[in-house]
Amino acid sequence: MIRSCADVQKHSNRAFHVAVFERGRTHEFKVHLTPDGQADALVPSPTATSTTTRSTTTSLSSLCFASAHTQLMPFPEALRLISSGSSDPFVAYAQEQNDCFRSEYSSLSSDVETHIPWATEALGCHPEAVNLWIGNHLSTTSFHKDHYENLYAVITGEKHFLLLPPTDVHRLYIQNYPAARYSLSQETGELTLQLEEPRRHVPWCSVNPYPPAAIKDQEVSKFPLYFNGPRPFECTKLFGGFYEIVVIKAQVSSSPVQARSPDNRGRTIAINYCMDSTSPTIRSPLFSNTLAVREKNFDDSAIINE
């Protein structure tokens, strides 16, 4: 974590918080919906038995990689869903990893600089994407890694990160899982999960770092490299805007969750800058090895359980 490092927020946290909601009031934005807040996560396949849940199954063959249902809605309605927490039949959050802060949320972006000057100078590039995230404490993200240097600022609320270095990717037991997506029934108002057509598979981390008590022993037995190895680094980012920034290096595996004490409206708001550094002196020492693996089309799953 780097403190006192950025002067890119043009107003105080409170003023920025107010500006987000005032300027977004007349716009529509994409909202992501899942039954339980697990975004891009492994869940029981729709072809599995109806009594199977992620908290009761330990069979990887019965799981699929599920993406959230996305739906356009007025900003006030989106905020109501995000703030309602568990009172709705699904958990809502707003976020896209596609430069959404400068595109979809461009009406809000004038309160924040388009880059962080010291990072632009140090990494030798401007951000390829700037993303806005709005959610509540029920939203979680499983372990994943990016090819970007990720600079994270929390405007309000709190985020907690588990971090593993690139050398520990084998501890995550990467496997290929069939891709699926939630869809919202207009008749019942419920989310249903369907496998994508045409079928495709997504390489994803098999480890749930917070296994339910009912299957914790089985999970520990199944993934000893993770649970019996060194503990992941833990980093908690409190609200503080751009006074404090978490820097997650490229190829570092991270699993972010929101604290159970978001702002008084039940929300956590964060902005992250994704930067693809071209400087060999800045990149991770393992980055060249990782690029070589990617160029040879090797799969992460080929190096697990070695």
Query: What ranges do the domains of the chain cover?
Result: 28-45+59-276
Distance CA 76, CA 20 (A): 11
Q: pLDDT tens track of the chain, all 306 residues?
A: 565 455 555 555 566 666 666 777 778 889 999 999 888 999 999 987 555 555 555 577 899 999 999 999 998 888 888 887 666 788 999 988 889 988 888 877 777 778 888 888 888 899 999 998 989 888 888 999 888 899 988 888 888 899 999 999 999 999 999 999 999 998 888 999 999 999 999 999 999 999 999 999 999 999 999 999 999 999 887 665 555 788 888 889 998 876 555 556 678 888 899 998 765 555 555 555 555 544 444 444 444 433
* Neighbouring residues of 283: CB distance < 8 A, sequence distance ≥ 6: 250, 277
Distance CA 81, CA 224 (A): 38
Q: Which CATH class is domain 28-45+59-276?
A: mainly beta
Q: Give the pLDDT confidence score for residue 86 in this predicted structure.
A: 62
Residue 117's H or E segment, with its range, is helix 117-123
Q: How far is CA 239 from CA 38, 160, 162, 235, 258, in A?
A: 22, 11, 18, 13, 11
Give this prediction's pTM: 0.81
Distance CA 142, CA 194 (A): 20
Q: Give the pLDDT confidence score for residue 97 in this predicted structure.
A: 82
Q: Give the pLDDT confidence score for residue 256 in this predicted structure.
A: 85
